[in-house]
Amino acid sequence: MNTFEAGLGLRWIREGLVLFRMRPFLLTNVFVAYFLFLMIVGAFPLIGSALPPLIAPIFSIFFLCVIHDVSERRPFDYSHLFALLKKPVVFRLLALGALYFFAAVVAVYASSSVDGGVFLRAMQGEQLEAQIIQESNVRQAVILAVFLHFLAQLCFWFVAPLIAWKNMPVGQALFYNFFTLLRIWKAFFVYLFGLFVTCFITPMLISTLIMLLLGRNIGLLFTFSLLMVVAVLVYCSFYSMFINIFGEPSAEGVSFD
């Protein structure tokens, strides 16, 4: 690994923007298709909550493969997904997805210590009276759940591509992820701050302005479209970060042939 200065965090975001501008419609359409798939799955009571985190690592690698094709100026090819599913690495990614699910459950259950389980009951689909919500500390519970979930995501930050592209077992990938974040913490902090400004503050201000000028319905539609673009930009900047730190995908990982 190289030495990572703080300014690299902004460079990763800039390179992500360049990647997005190369094939914006392709990247956005692939992500929207995945989002619509999750909405359909979410309509089923039993699998709707468990399946999305389980398959999230698989989609992440598939989408990173699409971004890699864009960076190499190759045509889009669905075969990456089928190549991924044929490899033993898919079982490691599913195990990682199970860890995603476990971390999310722990975060929500931990929030019960703040509001007495009101947020947990709401997440389970229970219809709560407005008075119960108002008299509880549900806002603080949501903040705690989001914070704990964010900490969990840091633990998993590089794990999926380390599994798929560097052919690492889950435990080894978690180990490398932890010490990599320690090594690049300055650049990583700048990266997170840049993402917060670029992908949260700026879109929020634009969406608010659109709502004021064109009305709430148009503003909500614009906000949804903007959120899809923002999600793609985050993936593109993540790809740039990973390649800069760990290098190109290994030949032992997912094939790009």
HEC letters along the chain: CCCCCCCHHHHHHHHHHHHHHHCHHHHHHHHHHHHHHHHHHHCCCCHHHHHHHHHHHHHHHHHHHHHHHHHCCCCCCCHHHHHHHHCCHHHHHHHHHHHHHHHHHHHHHHCHHHHCCHHHHHHCCCCCCHHHHHHCCHHHHHHHHHHHHHHHHHHCCCHHHHHHHCCCCHHHHHHHHHHHHHHCHHHHHHHHHHHHHHHHHHHHHHHHHHHHHHCHHHHHHHHHHHHHHHHHHHHHHHHHHHHHHHCCCCCCCCCCC
More confident residue, 80 or 228: 228
In a domain, 201, yes or no: yes
In a domain, 179, yes or no: yes
Residue 150, domain extent: 8-246
In a domain, 194, yes or no: yes
What pLDDT sits at residue 1? 46
Q: Which of 67-76, 218-227, 247-256 has the lowest mean pLDDT?
A: 247-256
In a domain, 78, yes or no: yes
Instruction: State both tokens at 147.
Output: 């914070």
Domain tally for the chain?
A: 1
Alpha-carbon span 226 to 12, nearest angstrom = 20
Nearest to 225 by CA among 28, 56, 17: 28
2 pLDDT above the threshold of 60: no
176 pLDDT above the threshold of 90: yes
What pLDDT sits at residue 77? 74
Q: What is the mean pLDDT of residues 17-45?
A: 87
Q: What is the mean pLDDT of residues 10-38?
A: 91
What pLDDT sits at residue 24? 92
In a domain, 102, yes or no: yes
Alpha-carbon span 75 to 98, nearest angstrom = 32
pTM: 0.86
In a domain, 252, yes or no: no
What pLDDT sits at residue 129? 67
Mean pLDDT of the residues in the chain: 84
Distances (CA, A) of 132 to 122, 143, 254: 11, 18, 50
Q: Which of 21-25, 36-40, 177-181 has the lowest mean pLDDT?
A: 36-40
pLDDT tens digit string along 200-246? 888 788 878 888 887 777 777 777 888 888 899 999 999 999 999 99
Q: What angle do CA 174, 180, 185 make, to 5 degrees?
A: 125
What pLDDT sits at residue 187? 92
Confidence of residue 135 (pLDDT cuts 50, 70, 90): low
In a domain, 253, yes or no: no
Share of the chain above pLDDT 90, in %: 39
First and final C-alpha spacing in the chain = 26
